[in-house]
């Protein structure tokens, strides 16, 4: 035995590309199927997204009505309504909140089983997260957008490149969000428990990703700083700004490029932190 | 007396478990205060973009935000953690709560350490104080009493909403985030002048569910402003009645729910 049985489903540059792709695909499918079993949670969550859609939309429209020229932060009323409703649809696709699987596995010591597997944990969890995102794109994205389109006038893209840019931007948002969440969860390697950091993340990410209000309502220096210095606008604000065509074509593409840079940095950082943690890890439990 | 000692023992246990991971707990404590601060700063950001929203200025809207924030945090501090009920029902761990010779609701209320939410309360009350100072209020005995009763009535009302949302889990275990639409959603609703909302949405939340009497109407009375939507001035004093009605309904639903509970059998 050379230790490399052909049937070991691993992801490695030393193995044929097709084997890596098949393994990654299987992990994605497992993530998709896992979330497909939470059907009632899908209904419950969509209801809540819709209620918050109405709340945020009415408030922002009142702000636009009270602002000069009926536009707040450079968005007109239709763009704001689209921003809010598509934002509610994307919230769970991007999955900013509620993922503490890794922190729980570290706390309980189950992470030991993940480390024995032939696929690095960051890769395995990323694949499962992309599967989750695929399922939620099919189920959680459409209900708020449909309700929003019925209740309010929304804006449709006018440039051809907006649609592919938006699709790329959503994918980058999921990958960037995964990197951030992995890092927050990974604090459990050092703290034993990540409840505090997770709560801090929930709060900070909601504000700085543009969920509570579009970041463009802030003074320009603050908006630019948040965009360049943190990965958070890339989680929600960037795809939404791309979709409602808040900026000209050049800046629109530039924002997606910046988002891509941050997504790569966050996932790479997650990999570095994971390797550091493996060197010092004391598995909890027995 | 023995009952009190039992509750104290539960509280002590929770305190030890919450502080077992010190750094994590410290971050939680700070973040909790930040949560309310962020909600309030959202109001400032929106009023930075428009001087008047829904016919109200920042100072006037801050009165509604302050009444909401102080009422909500008080409810969240005391009964907010009852929203963990769905976890207990799904896992069947509510059995352990039911077999103890203590009331169910107080046990669940103590089942999470309220201390980490104390910082939030300080922030909420500060907003109310700032709101009172930034408005030129024509003080009468009625308004002075209202300033104290409105946040308390708001707390009772939000507490009732917390219990009602949690009770949903007795009938629908996988209710997930539905409760948040009414607890956190209700808080967001009353943080702004209700004139901003569309007619039917406002009718449901403000009058159907009663959220309009938590902050909007008391704030109008405190400010001495007539209601642009046409309700008379005494509507501001209705908040304790609305709160008691909500608490009564919540009590009935909770009792029915506990009787309806079937264990997982594990």
* Closest Cβ opposite residue A191 in set B24, B46, B52: B24
What range does the domain containing A268 cover? 17-280
Please give, rounded to a whole number of angstroms, the shortest distance from the CA of A186 to a CA of chain B.
13
Whether A266 maps to a domain, the answer reads yes
Chain A residues with CB inside 8 Å of B32's CB? 199
pLDDT confidence of residue A285: 53
Q: Do A192 and B42 touch (CB under 8 A)?
A: no
Q: Is residue A181 pLDDT above 90, yes or no?
A: yes
Whether A2 maps to a domain, the answer reads no
Whether A12 maps to a domain, the answer reads no
Chain A residues with CB inside 8 Å of B35's CB? 203
Query: How high is the mean pLDDT in each 10-residue block of chain B (266 residues)?
Result: 80 78 76 78 88 91 92 88 81 81 80 70 88 90 92 95 90 82 93 93 93 94 89 89 95 90 71
Tokens of B131: 């709101």
Q: What is the CA radius of gyration of chain A?
A: 20
Q: Do A207 and B38 touch (CB under 8 A)?
A: yes
Whether A11 maps to a domain, the answer reads no
Q: Do A192 and B24 touch (CB under 8 A)?
A: yes
Whether A9 maps to a domain, the answer reads no
Interatomic CA distance for residues B208 and B198, integer angstroms: 14
Render A107-144 in DSSP notation, one character per residue: HHTTHHHHHHSSS-HHHHHHHHHHHHHHHHHHHTSHHH
Structural contact between residues A141 and A40, judged by C-beta atoms closer than 8 angstroms? no
pLDDT bin (cut points 50, 70, 90) of residue A265 is: very high
Q: Is residue A286 pLDDT above 50, yes or no?
A: no
ipTM: 0.88
Whether A6 maps to a domain, the answer reads no
Interatomic CA distance for residues B113 and B109, integer angstroms: 9
Residue contacts between A and B (CB atoms, under 8 Å): 119
Whether A174 maps to a domain, the answer reads yes
pTM of the model: 0.89
Looking at chain B, the number of H-run helices and the number of E-run strands are 12, 0
Whether A10 maps to a domain, the answer reads no
Interatomic CA distance for residues A111 and A105, integer angstroms: 5
Q: A117-166, pLDDT tens digit by residue?
A: 888 899 999 999 999 999 999 999 999 999 999 999 999 999 999 999 99
Chain A residues with CB inside 8 Å of B89's CB? none
Domain count, chain A: 1
């Amino acid at each position: 035995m050379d230790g490399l049985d052909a049937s070991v489903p691993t992801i490695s540059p030393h193995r044929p590309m097709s084997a890596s792709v098949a393994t990654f695909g299987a992990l994605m499918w497992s993530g998709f199927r896992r979330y497909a079993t939470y059907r009632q949670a899908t209904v419950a969550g969509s209801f809540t997204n819709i209620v918050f859609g109405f709340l945020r939309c009415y408030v922002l429209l009142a702000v636009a009505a009270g602002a000069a020229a009926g536009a707040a932060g450079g968005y007109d009323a239709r763009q704001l309504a689209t921003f809010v409703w598509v934002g509610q649809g994307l919230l769970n696709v991007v999955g900013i909140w509620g993922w503490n699987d890794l922190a729980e596995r570290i706390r309980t010591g189950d992470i030991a089983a993940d480390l024995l597997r032939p696929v690095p944990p960051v890769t395995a969890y990323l694949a499962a997260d992309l599967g989750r995102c695929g399922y939620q794109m099919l189920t959680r994205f459409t209900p708020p957008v449909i309700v929003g389109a019925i209740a309010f006038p929304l804006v449709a893209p006018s440039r051809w490149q907006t649609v592919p840019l938006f699709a790329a931007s959503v994918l980058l948002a999921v990958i960037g969000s995964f990197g951030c969440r992995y890092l927050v969860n990974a604090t459990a390697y050092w703290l034993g428990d990540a409840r505090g950091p997770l709560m801090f993340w929930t709060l900070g990410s909601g504000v700085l990703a543009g969920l509570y209000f579009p970041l463009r309502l802030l003074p320009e220096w603050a908006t630019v700083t948040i965009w360049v210095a943190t990965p958070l606008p890339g989680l929600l604000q960037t795809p939404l700004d791309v979709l409602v065509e808040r900026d000209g074509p050049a800046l629109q593409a530039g924002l997606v490029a910046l988002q891509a840079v941050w997504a790569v940095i966050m996932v790479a950082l997650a990999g570095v932190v994971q390797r550091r943690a493996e060197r010092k890890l004391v598995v909890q439990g027995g | 007396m023995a009952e009190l000692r039992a509750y104290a023992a539960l509280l002590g246990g929770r305190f030890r478990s919450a502080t077992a991971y010190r750094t994590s707990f410290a971050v939680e404590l700070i973040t909790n205060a930040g949560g309310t601060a962020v909600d309030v700063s959202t109001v400032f950001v929106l009023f930075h973009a428009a001087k008047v929203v829904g016919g109200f200025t920042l100072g006037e809207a801050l009165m509604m935000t302050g009444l909401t924030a102080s009422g909500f945090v008080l409810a969240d501090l005391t009964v907010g953690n009852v929203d963990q009920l769905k976890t207990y029902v799904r896992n069947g761990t509510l059995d352990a709560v039911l077999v103890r010779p203590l009331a169910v609701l107080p046990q669940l209320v103590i089942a999470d350490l309220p201390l980490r939410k104390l910082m939030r309360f300080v922030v909420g009350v500060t907003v109310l104080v700032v709101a009172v100072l930034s408005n030129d209020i024509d003080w009468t005995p009625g308004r002075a009493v209202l300033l104290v009763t409105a946040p308390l009535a708001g707390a009772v009302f939000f507490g009732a909403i917390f219990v009602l949302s949690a009770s949903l889990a007795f009938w629908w275990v996988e209710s997930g985030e539905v409760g948040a639409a009414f607890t956190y959603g209700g808080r967001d609703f009353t943080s702004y002048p209700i004139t901003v909302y569309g007619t039917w949405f406002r009718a449901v939340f403000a009058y159907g569910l009663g959220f309009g009497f938590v902050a909007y109407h008391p704030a109008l009375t405190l400010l001495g402003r007539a209601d642009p939507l046409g309700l008379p001035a005494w509507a501001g004093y209705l908040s304790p009645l609305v709160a008691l009605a909500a608490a009564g309904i919540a009590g009935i639903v909770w009792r029915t729910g506990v009787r309806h509970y079937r264990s997982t059998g594990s």
